[in-house]
Amino acid sequence: MGWRGILGFEYGIVLAPLGPDISGPELVAAVANAGGLGILRAPDWEAPDYLRELIRKTRTLTDKPFGVGVVLAFPHEENVKAILNEKVAVLQVYWGECSKQLVQESHCAGVKVVPQVGSLEETRKALEAGVDAIIVQGREAGGHVIGQEGLISLLPRVVDLIGDRDIPVIAAGGIVDARGYVAALALGAQGVCLGTRFVATLESCAHPTYKRKLVELDKTEYTNIFGRARWPNAPQRALRTPFFNDWKDFPAHENELNQPVIGRSTVHGIEKEIRRLSGAVPNVTATGDIESMAMYAGEGVGVIDEILPAGEVVKRLVDGAQLLIQTQFSGL
């Protein structure tokens, strides 16, 4: 049955790596302990010693396997070496070339490689590189969006392209509960990758105001107003907060560099200034004008009505999917 595990994990539930540091050790361990694949997020700069500590801290909280996500658009070679030396279960990669060499080196270290892709072209390249599974991101997704179309149309085409190869397809974008999970299974996925639902959990490192907004608000927009200087040509899906509604027409020739500092936060151990319209979502250490910071969310946010423990999110997905399949779709 599709709701069973993938890649050696008990269940096909994946916690997306949540930048810059929202999926920390507590959240990853909670998902791992519940039988899912939790993914830490590596810093966007070379910090192998710090990353090693992050991995080891996670291991003090769970004896289950987990992964680390790397955004290939930023410096990462030393970080990847640290990840492979630590032999985590999965290296997730995003926004850049997932090369054959990277896959081979990972496999030599016993680490599986799982890229997140947003098109058929990217899927083809990932298959050529020899990856172990593929996360397909639809345009509904929260955070930075590489998905070129809606999940309901892209996912089955990726599934068809992969054919009978033993490479699980994991659906991402707008999925927050068992109904979305079963829908993804019906489209041919074997697992689901959730971001926004896991931001709104007790264990996530998101600022309490960001979590609260995910419960209160229900509309998102595909935009590019955040972090244009630091990460150009990387559109985002963000929550339509009052701040967003005031700034959504931010002129295309401007960016965060000429905006005032509105707060501070410590990201992966480094204290940083947060400028208005910078791309970093507020983590738990953020201070200042939190309501004016980026708050990424997928289109499924309207279905989120409470902050839950992450293990409960996994349990409800699995139990709910089983129940739905048994009661609605068996014996038709």
Ligand X SMILES: Cc1cc2nc3c(=O)[nH]c(=O)nc-3n(C[C@H](O)[C@H](O)[C@H](O)COP(=O)(O)O)c2cc1C
Task: By CB under 6 A, name the one of 67, 173, 263, 279 that touches ligand X.
Answer: 173
Task: By CB under 6 A, name the one of 47, 103, 194, 318 that touches ligand X.
Answer: 194
Q: Are 139 and 148 in contact (CB under 8 A)?
A: yes
Spell out, one character per residue from 238 to 277, where the chain touches ligand X: x when CB under 6 A holds, - when not.
----------------------------------------
Q: Are 243 and 277 in contact (CB under 8 A)?
A: no
Task: By CB under 6 A, name the one of 32, 34, 82, 172 that touches ligand X.
Answer: 172
Q: CB of residue 189 vs ligand X: minimum separation in angstroms? A: 13
Q: Are 244 and 219 in contact (CB under 8 A)?
A: no
- Per CB under 6 A, which region of 81-89, 195-203, 239-247, 310-318 contacts ligand X? 195-203
- Cβ proximity to ligand X, 63 vs 191, nearer residue: 191
Task: By CB under 6 A, name the one of 143, 263, 282, 311 that touches ligand X.
Answer: 143
Distance (Å, whole) CA 92 – CA 41? 9
User: Judged by CB under 6 A, how many residues of this single chain contact ligand X?
Assistant: 29
Strand partners, 37: 14
98 binds ligand X (CB under 6 A): no
- Per CB under 6 A, which region of 2-10, 14-22, 46-54, 79-87 contacts ligand X? 14-22
Is there a cis peptide before residue 309, judged by omega within 30 degrees of 0? Answer: no
- Cβ proximity to ligand X, 164 vs 306, nearer residue: 306
Which residue from 14, 38, 41, 20 is spatially nearest to 296, judged by alpha carbons?
20
Neighbouring C-beta atoms of residue 208, cutoff 10 Å: 11
Applying the rule CB under 6 A, the residues between 266 and 325 that interact with ligand X are: 281, 296, 298, 300
113 binds ligand X (CB under 6 A): no
117 binds ligand X (CB under 6 A): no
Compute the CA torsion angle 134, 137, 141, 144 (nearest 10 deg).
90
Task: By CB under 6 A, name the one of 12, 26, 40, 41 that touches ligand X.
Answer: 41
Spell out, one character per residue from 68 to 87, where the chain touches ligand X: x when CB under 6 A holds, - when not.
-x-x----------------
- Cβ proximity to ligand X, 159 vs 281, nearer residue: 281
Q: CB of residue 326 vs ligand X: minimum separation in angstroms? A: 25
94 binds ligand X (CB under 6 A): yes
227 binds ligand X (CB under 6 A): no
Q: CB of residue 294 vs ligand X: minimum separation in angstroms? A: 9
Q: CB of residue 216 vs ligand X: minimum separation in angstroms? A: 16
181 binds ligand X (CB under 6 A): no
| Angle value at C-alpha 178, between 209 and 134, nearest 5 degrees | 90
